[in-house]
């Protein structure tokens, strides 16, 4: 089944002022939506980053795809690699680790691989999970993804979540997420405040939700010494400690002293990082993310590799829409060695580009769609609105640092700050 045309649509959707080590989320999150228009009226959908520098790489590949057979995934990867050559896409926030030629190819390929698998599924009348080997589980568990946050964007009214900077407000945020979605585990995005303040937040969550496994992720905002201190003080409280400090060597030094596993989506972000990280026993959990690990099938390869070394697998999330959630659910369902509830930013958004109803949270889990392909439908009006928002936003990249300086004039990223 050949590709006749490819449509790439940059979109934006409203995002609250969520805090992290790099600053604060801007008023809109950007994404790129791809439609592979194929023979027989089949359309395959993919979603990834919306930064202009990323979309420029994606655009280079578009003309190469016409006439490509959507069942030829190795050929698709070759076309992406050949077209991009030695180019390296680097985002402005670094929250998903370092940049490389291989990560750039993996990221661009992933967008098209998901769309090709969706198209294959439509053509065959089978869900993507079946194309990936079949269901290892019927529903995929997600964790509540808590953020400290400002109450409002610059010049805007307060959003419905309000300001969250205290343990009490954090527990309130968690309560709302758990009540609305039924999440059975909780992740706190840290790195925004002093670690003692964030530990107080974790302790308040542990008291309010004694049956919910907890994690904290400061995105490498701490020194090795602070990472070790937090690991000791939160021993028995956390199921894992995510990216306390920068780099494989630093993580290995914290891991040596920590009783809980260390998790990462920053120091192991491509297959070449696995050998040094595992040799130094730097991580006990990898957060997979098909958007930069080379698609759904490479995510499964990552899982098998982790399993061989007795390393756990969880799943990372950036701000995303329904196409990405569907892809995450299909690959998670087809990946037996997935040992933790996955991350998702889903509760933070209020709009989407897909028709509602295909992906529902019940008890914190999303049932795997059984319709063909990803099992979702693009809503053309919603896509057009999201594209208008992209144009209106004036944003061309995610830049949490610069936006934070509008709140705190002399702000510098919190990398290894404490």
Ligand X SMILES: O=C([O-])C(=O)C[C@H](O)[C@@H](O)C(=O)[O-]
Nearer to Mg ion, 9 or 219 (CB): 219
Nearer to ligand X, 57 or 319 (CB): 319
Nearer to Mg ion, 217 or 298 (CB): 217
Q: Which of 25, 68, 149, 189 is catalytic?
A: 189
Which residue of 185, 318, 335, 344 would you call a contact of ligand X, by CB under 6 A? 318
Which residue of 1, 3, 20, 372 would you call a contact of ligand X, by CB under 6 A? 20
Q: Which helix (H) or strand (E) element contains residue 74?
A: helix 73-84
Residue 265 interacting with Mg ion (CB under 5 A): yes
Closest-CA residue to 376 (of 309, 302, 324): 324
Euclidean distance between CA atoms 208 and 250, whole angstroms: 32
Residue 320 interacting with ligand X (CB under 6 A): no
Contact partners, residue 136, CB within 8 Å, separation at least 6: 333, 334, 335, 336, 338
Which residues share a beta bridge with 12? 30
Which residue of 68, 122, 189, 297 would you call a contact of ligand X, by CB under 6 A? 189
Segment lying near ligand X (by CB under 6 A), choices 2-10, 173-181, 207-215, 313-321 = 313-321
Residue 265 interacting with ligand X (CB under 6 A): yes
Euclidean distance between CA atoms 28 and 302, whole angstroms: 31
Q: Pick one of Mg ion, ligand X, none as the site partner of residue 299 (Cβ within 5 to 8 A by kind).
A: none
Nearer to Mg ion, 6 or 22 (CB): 22
Q: From the CB of 55, what's the least distance to ligand X, in Å?
A: 18
Question: Given the structure tokens 């990462």, which residue do they identify?
Answer: 264
Clarify whether 79 is annotated catalytic: no
Q: Which helix (H) or strand (E) element contains residue 330?
A: helix 322-333
Q: How many residues does the chain have?
A: 418
Site for ligand X in 77-106 (CB under 6 A): 95
Count of Cβ atoms closer than 10 Å to residue 177 Cβ: 22
Q: Radius of gyration (Cα) for the chain, nearest Å?
A: 20
Size of the site for ligand X (CB under 6 A): 11
Q: Which of 25, 93, 316, 330 is catalytic?
A: 316
Clarify whether 60 is annotated catalytic: no
Q: Pick one of ligand X, Mg ion, none as the site partner of residue 290 (Cβ within 5 to 8 A by kind).
A: none
Segment lying near ligand X (by CB under 6 A), choices 82-90, 195-203, 315-323, 325-333 = 315-323
- Provide the Cα torsion 263, 266, 270, 272; round to 10°: -80
Euclidean distance between CA atoms 59 and 199, whole angstroms: 44
Nearer to Mg ion, 57 or 265 (CB): 265
Q: From the CB of 242, what's the least distance to Mg ion, in Å?
A: 5
- Ordered alpha helix ranges (H), 85-127: 101-124
Spacing of C-alpha 167 from chain mean position: 25
Question: Given the rule CB under 6 A, which residues bind ligand X?
Answer: 18, 20, 95, 189, 217, 219, 265, 316-319
**Residues involved in catalysis:** 189, 316
């Amino acid at each position: 089944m050949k590709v006749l045309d490819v449509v790439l649509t940059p979109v934006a959707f409203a995002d609250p002022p969520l805090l992290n080590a790099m600053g604060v989320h801007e008023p809109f999150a950007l994404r790129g939506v791809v439609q592979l228009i194929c023979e027989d009226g089949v359309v395959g959908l993919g979603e990834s980053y919306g930064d202009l520098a990323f979309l420029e790489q994606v655009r280079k590949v578009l003309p190469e795809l016409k006439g490509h057979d959507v069942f030829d995934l190795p050929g698709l990867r070759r076309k992406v690699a050949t077209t991009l050559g030695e180019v390296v896409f680097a985002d402005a926030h670094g929250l998903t680790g370092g940049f490389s030629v291989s990560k750039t190819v993996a990221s661009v390929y992933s967008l098209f691989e998901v769309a090709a698998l969706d198209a294959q599924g439509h053509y065959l009348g089978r869900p993507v999970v079946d194309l990936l080997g079949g269901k290892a589980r019927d529903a995929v568990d997600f964790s509540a993804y808590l953020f400290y946050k400002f109450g409002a964007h610059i010049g805007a009214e307060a959003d419905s979540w309000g300001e969250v900077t205290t343990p009490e407000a954090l527990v309130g945020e968690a309560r709302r997420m758990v009540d609305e979605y039924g999440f059975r585990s909780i992740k706190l995005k840290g790195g925004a405040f002093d670690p003692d303040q964030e530990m107080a937040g974790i302790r308040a969550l542990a008291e309010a939700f004694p049956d919910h496994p907890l994690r904290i992720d400061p995105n490498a905002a701490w020194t090795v010494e602070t990472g070790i201190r937090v690991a000791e003080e939160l021993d028995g409280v956390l199921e894992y400690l995510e990216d306390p400090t920068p780099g494989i060597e630093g993580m290995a030094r914290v891991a040596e002293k920590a009783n809980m596993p260390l998790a990462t989506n920053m120091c192991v972000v491509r297959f070449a990082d696995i050998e040094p990280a595992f040799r130094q026993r730097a991580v006990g959990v990898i957060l997979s993310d098909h958007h930069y690990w080379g698609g759904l099938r490479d995510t499964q390869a990552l899982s098998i590799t982790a399993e061989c070394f007795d390393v756990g697998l969880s799943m990372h999330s950036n701000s995303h829409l329904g196409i990405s959630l569907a892809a995450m659910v299909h690959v998670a369902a087809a990946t037996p060695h997935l040992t933790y509830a996955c991350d998702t930013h889903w509760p933070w958004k209020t709009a989407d580009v897909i028709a509602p109803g295909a992906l529902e949270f019940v008890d914190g889990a999303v049932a795997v769609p059984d319709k063909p392909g990803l099992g979702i439908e693009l809503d053309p009006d919603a896509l057009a609105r999201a594209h208008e928002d992209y144009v209106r936003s004036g944003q061309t990249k995610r830049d949490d640092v610069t936006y934070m300086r509008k709140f705190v004039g002399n702000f510098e990223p919190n990398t290894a700050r404490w």
